[in-house]
Amino acid sequence: MKIGLIGLGNIGVHFGTRLLAAGHELLVHDRSDAMQQRLVAKGATGMPSAKALASETEIVLLCLPMPRIVADVAAEVAQGSAVRIVVDLSTTGPSVTKEIEALLKTHGIAMVGAPVSGGTVAAEKGTLAVMPAGPEATYAEIEPLLRAIGKNIFYLGADPSLGQTMKIINNTLYATSMVASCEALVYGVKAGLDAKTMLDVLNVSSGRSFATLERIPQCVLDRSFPVRFTTELLHKDIKMCIDEAEKIGAPMLVSPAARQFLAFAITQGDGQQDNVFPIRHFEQWAGVQFGQAAD
């Protein structure tokens, strides 16, 4: 297919790479020329604006960091003369997705909300979970593109906001388990347990989670803290989930504690650090360190 991709950051660049590898003709745009050139060098065609891109292809994929940015770019895409389908791979949230769907509909453009989960490693390998929702016929048309970037595809219904609801639920559960894991593991070190042994025990026991199975072993145990998903973005997602739940009268009592800790971490300068970096606050308060850097 001839397709467009807007947003070529830490995950978007992997989407573009995999789509090119699958044989698709790819038009790309990013406000950062350096990011755009990474995919141009691999064979994509760079475009000067979102409108220009949407005037050259019928299908436009969005991979952008914040809901308002998605809404602004979608409004520009809607001015394109060729586009008829927009697929939003971002974590935009249900409310803004409904706004965008209504805007696109006035231009005769169909929308699929298809947020993803798994992080940069899964994006590179093509093993992401993808949560598409939108008109069934439109989903059927773009499903091959989703198969190029993800492994587990879950069609969630005709309402494009349903995929976004699923995504923020997922990220909120991750955030809550991650914060709880960090504080419990620091307590274990303080009590005299070995950091790696604790993870080994948890990961064959009922306390395991994505945080203990993947993120903490890969990023904290060796003190490397590679930036895969920032504290700021995770805070955005959990806050969005709590706000959306409040709108429909669904109580959330545990998640706000994790949100508050992430908000505190952002005030301490951790916003652009990876979301497991704030374990350092628990460590500082306890006077111990979880894991150690390799020699």
Question: Which residues does residue 130 pair with via DSSP β-bridges, in sequence order?
Answer: 116, 153
Closest CA to 112 of 120, 100, 124: 100
Supply 293's token pair.
Answer: 């850097």
Under 8 Å between Cβ of 194 and 288: no
**Rounded Cα–Cα distance for residues 131 and 151 (Å):** 11
Place of tokens 């947020």: 115
Sheet holding 116-117, edge to edge: 116-117, 128-130, 150-153
Q: What are phi and psi of 202, to 5 degrees?
A: -60, -40
**Rounded Cα–Cα distance for residues 198 and 178 (Å):** 15
If DSSP codes are grouped into helix, strand and coil, which group holds residue 87?
A: strand
Place of tokens 């929308």: 111
Tell me, yes or no, if 167 is annotated catalytic: yes
* Crossing angle for the helix pair 195-202 and 161-191, to the nearest 10 degrees: 130
Catalytic residue (one of 51, 167, 236, 239): 167
The CA R_g of the chain, rounded to the nearest whole Å, is 20
Under 8 Å between Cβ of 6 and 50: yes
Active site residues: 167
